[in-house]
Amino acid sequence: MGSDATVWPYNNGKLTVHTGKNYHWRIAGFYFFYYAFIGMFAPYWSLYLSSLQFSAIEIGILMSMQPVMRMIAPNVWGWLADHTGKRLLVVQVAATMSALFYLGVFFTTSFWGLLAVLVLMNFFWSASMPLVEATTLSYLGKHTAHYGRIRSWGSIGFIVAVVGLGYAFDYIAIGWLLWAGLVCEIGILIFSRQIPKTEVLAHHTDSQSIKQIVMQPRVLALFGACFLMSVAHGPYYTFYSIYLVEHGYAKSAVGGLWALGVVCEIGVFFLMPQLVRRFGFVRILGFSFAAAVLRFLLIGWTVDFLSLILLAQVLHAATFGAYHAASVGMVHEFFQGRHQSKGQALFGSFTYGAGGMLGGLASGPIWQHFGASVLYTCSAVMALLGLALVYRLRGS
């Protein structure tokens, strides 16, 4: 796929190339540290902010800076990557600047100081993943159903971070979280320089504008549904850990619950080739949205019943694992050739970015004034609305 490698099918679960080289570990390493950072940030950053005595609204704002930048930055970087043809150089520059700006968390504990640091760091941190997703799918060629096998290393990184830190914070101060984030940033920086080059193949849609592709009814339906799924997950990523701790769960148990969901997610990633062949992307998405409705109702109303909270976490296999693999696969089908990077960037910006921002910002006031049960019921409603849009994709 690059100048020195053409993709062949998987051999015993490993991707091989005609040169005899295997670049699987290079991409897998980037996923590992990128999602280890999320495993550090999503469950525990709100706890760190809470330790600094920030209000629920302030925590909601600070936690939303990541999705805000995921809304803005990928479009800038995706356009730059496609315009210059230097996708990997953009990834490397972004990883370097992200690590540098992250150092700011060691020098301020004020609201406005942390806001500035998170805005700058996330502007560069958010640039990488859509470009790496496009690179991975280009690398896989016709074997995109095997995307989950490489992506699963990101889930493993998430588990290592969330479980390890969960147990650690039962014994050490939450302030050590900052050092864990630095380790992840350094790992991202190192592996950004290991990702193999891939060749963007010409496609008949190259003559179309990106707007023409986006305005297709099926593309709009996919983006709209996934936007609503990200809105639904905003309260989960912002307040789930605080919610569990307030109901008497130890931090190690919180980490274990996060990890359980991701373990199930990994299993689904490895099953995706068979699932896609049997059901197709649209049916998988429909099931994922239906599972999200049930999951958020369980979180909101049964937090004191461990067995039901465990079931809610098992459903993460569908609400993120199957959902993410299917949605990214559909985006890759819609955006080919010279539109690959921009397509993944637009998808990430509008769904995980704008959707996550809205979900995160709205969660603070709802949590503060109406409580967690109402908040997670709102998440279930968003997932239900998304399910209605998924039906627009039938026949694709």
Q: Tell me the pLDDT tens digit for each residue of 331-376.
A: 888 887 666 777 888 888 888 888 988 998 899 899 989 999 999 9
The answer on pLDDT for 119 being more than 70 is yes
- Tell me, yes or no, whether 18 lies in a domain: no
* Whether the Cβ atoms of residue 139 and residue 198 lie closer than 8 Å to each other: yes
Q: What does the pLDDT read at residue 123?
A: 92
- Residues in contact with 364: Cβ distance below 8 Å, sequence separation at least 6, in sequence order: 56, 57, 58, 59, 60, 61, 238
- Tell me, yes or no, whether 220 lies in a domain: yes
Q: SS3 for 18?
A: coil
Could you tell me what percent of the chain has a pLDDT over 70?
89
- Tell me, yes or no, whether 79 lies in a domain: yes
Q: What does the pLDDT read at residue 269?
A: 87
Q: Which helix (H) or strand (E) holds 10?
A: strand 7-11
Q: What does the pLDDT read at residue 18?
A: 33
* Whether the Cβ atoms of residue 222 and residue 393 lie closer than 8 Å to each other: yes
Q: Which two tokens stand for residue 277?
A: 């062949």
Q: What is the mean pLDDT of residues 162-185?
A: 90
The distance of Cα 63 from the centroid of its chain, to the nearest Å, equals 14
Q: What is the mean pLDDT of residues 105-129?
A: 92
Q: How many domains does the chain have?
A: 1
Environment class of residue 100 by beta-carbon count within 10 Å: exposed (0-12), middle (13-18) or buried (19+)? middle
- Tell me, yes or no, whether 10 lies in a domain: no
* Whether the Cβ atoms of residue 23 and residue 32 lie closer than 8 Å to each other: no
Backbone φ and ψ of 54, nearest 5° = -75, 150
Longest Cα–Cα distance of the chain, Å, equals 61
Higher pLDDT, 76 or 38: 38
- Tell me, yes or no, whether 273 lies in a domain: yes
pLDDT for 41-60, tens place per residue?
Answer: 988 898 899 899 898 889 88
Domain, as residue range, for 274: 24-199+208-393
Q: What is the mean pLDDT of residues 152-156?
A: 89
Q: SS3 for 208?
A: coil
Instruction: Specify the CATH number for the domain of residue 130.
Output: 1.20.1250.20
- Tell me, yes or no, whether 1 lies in a domain: no
Question: Does the CA dihedral 351-353-357-358 come out positive or negative?
Answer: negative
Q: SS3 for 64?
A: coil
- Tell me, yes or no, whether 292 lies in a domain: yes
- Tell me, yes or no, whether 381 lies in a domain: yes
- Residues in contact with 259: Cβ distance below 8 Å, sequence separation at least 6, in sequence order: 158, 159, 162, 163, 166
